[in-house]
Amino acid sequence: MQASLVNPFLSSSIHVIETLIQIKPSVGQLSVQTIDYIHHYVWFKIGIVGNLNKEILFGFPETVAFKMVSGMMGGYPVTEFDEMCQSAVGELGNMISGNASTILFQQGIEVDITPPHLIHQTGYTWGEKVFSIPLTIETIGQFNIYISA
């Protein structure tokens, strides 16, 4: 995958998370892989449409999602994946994808994003190869952003 397509999501992720939670995430080893649905994970998919058509999948262990949402809400304790938590995680994905779309637009690639879609399916497999961006937030944990190849 071209760096010009990955870098906007990488830099956007770091900027948005650091702004919302006041902790700069570290980036793990970028890779190309296939992914399977994992239980006790929160999965959101956002589409990128326009001059570039991609799908972005955010995969969070539930405990990481709870801690991230708590951080986004100033420390309010979050212990279940209720509507508020779903909305906050979806908004995080919107902010990262929207910011990345702006960066892509500045590179001359006109795109838009679709609303986030929560994936609940057991046994869900995204059959194609994806580019994986693993991010670790100190005291919170690791999650991945996947970009369709």
Q: Cα dist. 74→65, 92, 121, 126, 143 in Å? A: 14, 15, 31, 34, 20
Q: Coil, strand, or helix at residue 128?
A: strand
pLDDT, tens digit, for every residue of 106-142? Answer: 999 999 999 988 886 655 667 678 899 999 999 999 9
In tens digits, the chain (149 residues) has pLDDT values of 577 788 999 999 999 999 999 999 999 999 998 887 777 888 889 999 999 899 999 998 989 999 999 999 888 999 988 899 889 999 999 999 999 999 999 999 999 999 988 886 655 667 678 899 999 999 999 999 999 87
CA-based angle 105:97:11, to the nearest 5? 80
pTM metric for this prediction: 0.88
Which domains does the chain carry?
3-148 (3.40.1550.10)
